[in-house]
Amino acid sequence: MHKAVHTIVFLTSLFGGSQGHASQPPELTVAPPSWWVGMQSSTLQLMVAGKDIAGSEVTVNSPDVSIVKVASQDSPNYLFIDVDVKHATARQYTFTLRRPGQADTQFTYDIHRRRDGSRARTGFGQRDTIYLVTADRFVNGDPSNDAHAALVDKPQPDKPGGRHGGDIQGLIDHLDYLQEMGFTQLWPMPLLENAMDAYSYHGYAITDHYQIDPRYGTNALYRELSKQGRERGIGLIMDVVLNHIGSHHPWMADMPSADWINNQGEFTATTHRREALHDMHGVAADVSAFSDGWFVPTMPDLNQQNPYLATYLTQQAIWWIEYADLSGLRVDTYSYSDKAFLSHWTHRLMQEYPELNIVGEEWTVNPVITSYWQAGSNPDDGYQSSLPSVMDFPLQATLVDALKNQESWGTGLVELYSLLASDALYGDPYNLVIFGDNHDMSRIFTQLDEDFALWKMAMTYLLTSRGIPQVFYGTEILMANPHSDDHGVIRSNFPGSWPDDKVNGFTGENLTAQQQEARALIQGLLTLRRQHPVIATGQYTHYAPQEGVYVYFKTAKEGKQGHGDGAMVVLNKNAQQVTLPLPRFAAQLRGINTLQRWPDSSEVATATGEITIAPQSATVWLLN
């Protein structure tokens, strides 16, 4: 008696018929949806979901792929298949699942050829400037996808927390603007499916790890964004969430194992006490209370100690890097995930892509805690991290304080000087991502009480300091959030691409004179970074502030004097003009004949003379 065979074919038209996100019939889903030959690890774990498939015998139709292990956990509806793809070729393979007394089930699985040089891809770095966008609030390039029949959260453009309609097509349509401004990396907040009832626009409550939310576009369109960005010299950074999912994720209706979600799948709030991870006097209970707790009831906290979930999250990140040709990852709420998992996850990704960059979010103003996560920092407990970069929250907070606080022996610009003196804690302080604001805090113009002089000082500092600068969309036109710290207000629409907009931030139409000056400053500084790379990548050397004046240099890292390239930057917080004698800086000016003020090339000083600094200003002097 012959058994009936139910065949499920995975469509892969998104990659010219050979590669992409597989269609997902309701009977069976497979993750990752495809893979590639020539990866550093020859082991691939397929997570197959389907009704009552646990305990199936699995075969594959080619000896090029060997089945190493088949396992199930607590749910009868999941199967984990470990396969060795060391000898696989770029083709489609057929897997058969057999269960006693039931019809066989088959699925096809595509393994593709990798792009040439994929492993050697260069991630974002010091030469780059990152543009962070809330895609829903940037540009509505395709109004037809503003709502989706299967998704509850419909457009509410008049509500700060509602969906406004921005999408991937809008990003593609304005890549030329980013290029003209001089940005070289694009970091959109998460674009994966968020099938939540409300507040789905921010993207951090993921319900499908392998599918772009249809209100933003498609997987193919996301890859097109990456492709067109690279054609303009703009890399694409994906915002990755390892710590939690959205409460409407299919796992919440059917968890693969009882321990898939922390705290038995029930909401228990995190303490947010990240200090517990570093406390030599602390207890394990405080560590668990931090790491295993949830942010909010709508964001279940994942248990990365489960090895199958850990593998799923690792392969998911690799899949998107390979599929969309990414230049890096930003990892949300980095330290909230299991420490051992993070060590393994970063090691595995850097093993696959040695020149990739990954930046983790650790929101603390304590550099001891921030530096703990960066590779090469060598913390006292011997923790091994392969994370290349960390968001420099200590610098962000200190920069604002340094500009706003009154100048004294211990406050004002000296706060910035003192913080930078702690850079020895980091494995590589030049690879930190620095910023004035982001999507989770008041805009930098608001933080500085809309003081335009202080804003210019802040942005000049960020674009000439050490590290990799990140600019939040709209900063270049002084977007602000006065009288409100609502995230939906902070993430307001970028003016110029919405039906009733009278101001256009892209063309400059109806911008105020101050906004035009702000945009010109950002564009000019990004041009300066490109024309004088040492300003982006050079050695940072600073002098202790004196009487409200802080001076630092960017010069060639090898430290050779007389190289004829570099810059001196002067921050003057005084309300009056300052005359600055240059002999104090003789060590940095050795071999330099003249200093030329940027962008006013007509203002030139000799290295042994003096310069005049305008009140409340940041000035850049090119060394010749």
The string of pLDDT tens digits covering residues 485-513 is 999 999 999 999 898 999 999 999 999 99
Q: What is the pLDDT of residue 24?
A: 37
570: left (phi over 0), alpha (psi -120 to 50) or beta: beta
Catalytic hit among 332, 392, 437, 476: 332
Q: Are strands 78-84 and 66-71 parallel, antiparallel or unpaired?
A: antiparallel
What is the rounded end-to-end Cα distance, in angstroms, of the chain? 88
CA-to-CA distance for 421 and 540, rounded, in angstroms? 11
pLDDT in tens, 42-70: 999 999 999 999 999 999 999 999 999 99
Closest C-alpha among 135, 139, 231, 246 to residue 198: 246
Catalytic hit among 136, 193, 338, 361: 361
pLDDT confidence band for 561 (50 / 70 / 90):
very low
Percent of the chain's residues with pLDDT above 70? 95
In the predicted model, what is the mean pLDDT of the chain?
94
pLDDT confidence band for 557 (50 / 70 / 90):
confident
User: In terms of pTM, does the model score above 0.75?
Assistant: yes
Q: Which tokens belong to 259? A: 């321990």
332 is catalytic: yes
- Which stretches does DSSP call E strand in 409-529? 433-435, 468-472
Q: How many CA atoms lie within 13 A of 203 on its CB side?
A: 29
Q: List Cα–Cα distances, 212 to 24, 182, 218, 375, 413, in angstroms.
A: 14, 27, 5, 31, 44
Judge whether 463 and 476 are in contact, CB under 8 Å.
no
5-112 maps to CATH 3.30.70.141: no
Q: In the chain, where are the structural domains located?
A: 5-112, 130-239+305-534, 537-623
CA-to-CA distance for 223 and 221, rounded, in angstroms? 5
Q: What is the pLDDT of residue 8?
A: 36
Q: Among 112-116, 395-399, 599-603, whose mean pLDDT is lowest?
A: 599-603
Architecture of domain 537-623 in this structure = Sandwich (2.60)
254 is catalytic: no
pLDDT in tens, 350-395: 999 999 999 999 999 999 999 999 999 999 899 999 999 999 999 9
CATH number at 130-239+305-534: 3.20.20.80
Cα 430 from chain centroid (whole Å): 17
Percent of the chain's residues with pLDDT above 90? 92
pLDDT in tens, 131-159: 999 999 999 999 999 999 999 999 999 99
pLDDT reading at 5 higher than 90: no
Q: What is the pLDDT of residue 122?
A: 97
Q: What is the pLDDT of residue 497?
A: 86
φ, ψ of residue 74 to 5 degrees: the values are -80, -35
Q: Tell me if 5-112 shares its fold with 537-623.
A: yes
Q: List Cα–Cα distances, 267 to 248, 264, 336, in angstroms.
A: 14, 9, 15
